[in-house]
Amino acid sequence: MANELSKAPVFDGTGYEPSLFSRSQFIAPKTDYKAAAYQNRNTDTNKKILVVCTEEKYMTMANGRKFSTGNHPVETFVPILHFQDAGYEVDFFTPEGNSVKMELWALPLQDAAVGDIIEKYSEQLAHPKSLRDFAQGDFRSETEYVAVFLPGGHGAMLGLPENEDLKKLIHWVVEKDKFMFAICHGPAALLAAAYQEDPENFPYKGYKINGFPDSIDETLPEIGYQPGKMPWFYGERLKNLGVEFLNEGISGACHTDRKLVTGDSPMAANQFGEMCAKVLSESTADSE
């Protein structure tokens, strides 16, 4: 059946969504999310996780065609379900406070848990907080953000890697010894920390991560997932800054290096969420 599906990208009126064939290969109707009971579950409602998303929808490919992207719903919301299981709510942020852009074509339409968590945060998705305002206020807030989460989707490469306020936020995270979570293409946003700055000062130099491989991004146009070749590769840039990728393919692999937790793809979303929740729970136990 999959072989009969078209490999032509689907035009949405402005840009192109993945082909029906590529969706059959990468998008499932349900996720593998399983609710978990975490020790040392957070009960302090003032403690939350800050989620940085893109407010840009289209990536201009090397051939000039536009790829309809955003943050990947599975990579965004399955980890958030685990945050919730561990007792943490989230606050969504975008650079200017414009609406969060999602890869709606990747929604797991038969997954009730994902549907429910999207509904819970629907108002925030439409009206997120402004990263610029947060940075201008020197990150002062009544909320204590214990971690920053960078969801995947190619949208993580749009606007975030060169955002000055995100650069300040990342350095704030490191200075305050907070957790950083990033999945799939989410680590692309870490590039902001070295934007217009001496690369030697990149805070995650020497770290090991799992992320979506550039080598796979090179092949995706062949099956119509994207309407053209990538305009640039985030993995190459991170490697030039001293980051080591542990994976060459995608298998759902996750890794924790100090306070940076990463996962390689949508296949990693459940395990990644569990790993993030566990390190938070362990941190809570250590502080007691």
Among all residues, which ones are annotated catalytic?
Answer: 184
C-alpha–C-alpha distance, residues 103 and 83, integer Å: 21
122: left (phi over 0), alpha (psi -120 to 50) or beta: alpha
24 closest CA partner among 112, 106, 90: 106
Contact 250, 265 (CB under 8 A): yes
User: Alpha carbon of 265 to those of 55, 187, 196, 211, 217: distances in Å?
Assistant: 21, 11, 29, 7, 12
| Chain CA centroid to CA 10, Å | 24
C-alpha–C-alpha distance, residues 79 and 245, integer Å: 21
Contact 33, 270 (CB under 8 A): yes
